[in-house]
Amino acid sequence: MHDTILVIGANGQIGTELVAELRTIYGDNKVIACDIRRPDYDTRNAGPFEFVNVLDKDNLKDICQKYKPTMIYLLAAILSATGEQNPKLAWDLNMNGLLNVLDFAIEFNVRKVYWPSSIAVFGPNSPKDHTSQYCVMDPNTVYGISKLAGERWCEYYFRKHGLDVRSLRYPGLISWKAAPGGGTTDYAVHIFHDALKKSSYSSFLSADTRLPMMYMDDAIRGTIELMEAPADRLTIRSSYNFSGMDFTPEELAAEIRVHIPSFTLGYVANDPRQAIADSWPRSIDDSYARNDWNWATRFDMSRTTEEMLKHLRK
Ligand code: NAD
């Protein structure tokens, strides 16, 4: 079967790399990049692009009618730190965007839907270390609340309508191609840019704030592996815990010093992102992903650091 794939929110940190990888696998013209923002040069020239607002049902319906997609990847969202600045807008986009896509997926017989969740679904009373798939979940950001509710909707549509919807709880994603979109883990990208530019960085998270992270290549590979896994292997239809590595700003700085010995790390006090980070897990137990569809990470902190510095130097 020839798949036609819509990627909605294609111009962001993940979409930029996911669209390129999907086009390599399925063919340039089979992957339709959709966003409310104009794409960068690569995305626009490698294959079709459409302006789509996921909150505009008529717009979304026209695109579904035009392309008759067999798969939809929904990436449009407002992330954790930005969401706190405009909670109602974040709720509207993160929730109604998802419901619109789930409804049109049923109406247009879409075979599979992908929608990412986040470690933000956990909260202050969730276990901090090796946080398990099933535990207390009391997110206290609007982003986390919308992701947890979204997970429940995904499972509901799977059970009620038989929609093949799949999801991962991404940790903080580290990449060099596109800028991060306003999350609490963004420091782990900015630090590499500043290390090369000024040999110093001021972190908005404190020295010992440990958070789960992943290099983008692992995230893209894991996403596609999940989407290609046989449906009967998947025991989770809300969202899978998904783990790469975990580190603190201080540990990452020490790793950067292996390559740039003069690098110094300072700290900015009282940043609102600290409270968000403090409510999240320090590390994640992703044994369901490992057992169900053989997930295995390839990039640890040292390999990620090497890759980031190598690509950004270019
Ligand atoms: P991003 O902010 O970089 O990109 C989101 C894209 O969606 C942007 O290009 C934006 O223009 C587009 N968009 C916004 N509103 C839209 C609308 N109404 N209609 C169509 N497009 C719209 O985000 P990202 O980092 O690429 O994240 C993608 C998904 O992954 C989100 O669901 C996010 O919650 C999730 N996630 C990301 C991370 C991370 O570290 N990047 C971690 C956990 C989960």
- Measured CA to CA, the distance from residue 70 to residue 75 in angstroms comes to 16
- Measured CA to CA, the distance from residue 61 to residue 239 in angstroms comes to 26
Check pocket membership of 184 for ligand 1, CB cut-off 6 A: no
Backbone angles phi, psi at 244, to 5 degrees: -115, -70
pLDDT at 146: 98
34, 57, 170: which to mutate for ligand 1, most atoms within 8 A of CB?
A: 170
Q: Are 71 and 112 in contact (CB under 8 A)?
A: yes
Strands of the 168-170 sheet, one edge to the other = 117-118, 168-170, 240-241
pLDDT at 156: 98
Contacts of 59 (CB under 8 A, 6+ apart): 52, 53
The residue whose CA is least distant from atom 8 of ligand 1 is 12
Strands of the 31-35 sheet, one edge to the other = 49-51, 31-35, 5-8, 71-74, 112-114, 165-166
- Measured CA to CA, the distance from residue 40 to residue 20 in angstroms comes to 12
pLDDT at 1: 64
N-terminal to C-terminal alpha carbon distance within the chain: 39
Per the annotation, the verdict on 187 as an active-site residue is no
Burial class (CB in 10 A: 0-12, 13-18, 19+), 233: exposed
Active-site entry in 114, 143, 170, 187: 143
Check pocket membership of 144 for ligand 1, CB cut-off 6 A: no
17, 38, 52, 75: which to mutate for ligand 1, most atoms within 8 A of CB?
A: 75
Check pocket membership of 185 for ligand 1, CB cut-off 6 A: yes
Instruction: State how beta strands 49-51 and 31-35 pair.
Output: parallel
Q: Tokens for 184?
A: 């609490």
Q: What is the CATH number of domain 5-171+216-241?
A: 3.40.50.720
- Measured CA to CA, the distance from residue 144 to residue 132 in angstroms comes to 16
Check pocket membership of 16 for ligand 1, CB cut-off 6 A: no
Q: Tokens for 44?
A: 């626009």
Check pocket membership of 181 for ligand 1, CB cut-off 6 A: yes
pLDDT at 40: 78
Check pocket membership of 165 for ligand 1, CB cut-off 6 A: no
- Measured CA to CA, the distance from residue 125 to residue 77 in angstroms comes to 25
Q: What is the CATH number of domain 172-213+245-313?
A: 3.90.25
Give the helix ranges, DSSP H, for 184-237.
187-198, 216-228
Domain boundaries defined on the chain = 5-171+216-241, 172-213+245-313
Angstrom distances, CA of residue 294 to CA of 129, 222, 230, 289: 22, 10, 12, 6
Check pocket membership of 222 for ligand 1, CB cut-off 6 A: no
Q: What is the pLDDT along the chain (314 residues), one digit of tens a residue?
A: 689 999 999 999 999 999 999 999 999 999 999 999 988 767 667 899 999 999 999 999 999 999 999 999 999 999 999 999 999 999 999 999 999 999 999 999 999 999 999 999 999 999 999 999 999 999 999 999 999 999 999 999 999 999 999 999 999 999 999 999 899 999 999 999 999 999 999 999 999 999 999 999 999 999 999 999 999 999 999 999 999 999 999 999 999 999 999 999 999 999 999 999 999 999 999 999 999 999 999 999 999 999 999 999 99
- Measured CA to CA, the distance from residue 231 to residue 155 in angstroms comes to 14
172-213+245-313 has the same fold as 5-171+216-241: no
pLDDT at 205: 97
Which residue do the tokens 């992957």 mark? 31
Query: In this structure, what is the dihedral angle of CA atoms 220, 280, 274, 302, given to the nearest 10 degrees?
Result: -50
- Rounded to the nearest angstrom, the distance between the alpha carbon of 229 and the centre of ligand 1 is 24
Closest ligand 1 atom to the C-alpha of 14? 26
- Rounded to the nearest angstrom, the distance between the alpha carbon of 181 and the centre of ligand 1 is 7
- Rounded to the nearest angstrom, the distance between the alpha carbon of 14 and the centre of ligand 1 is 7
Instruction: State how beta strands 71-74 and 49-51 pair.
Output: unpaired
- Rounded to the nearest angstrom, the distance between the alpha carbon of 73 and the centre of ligand 1 is 11
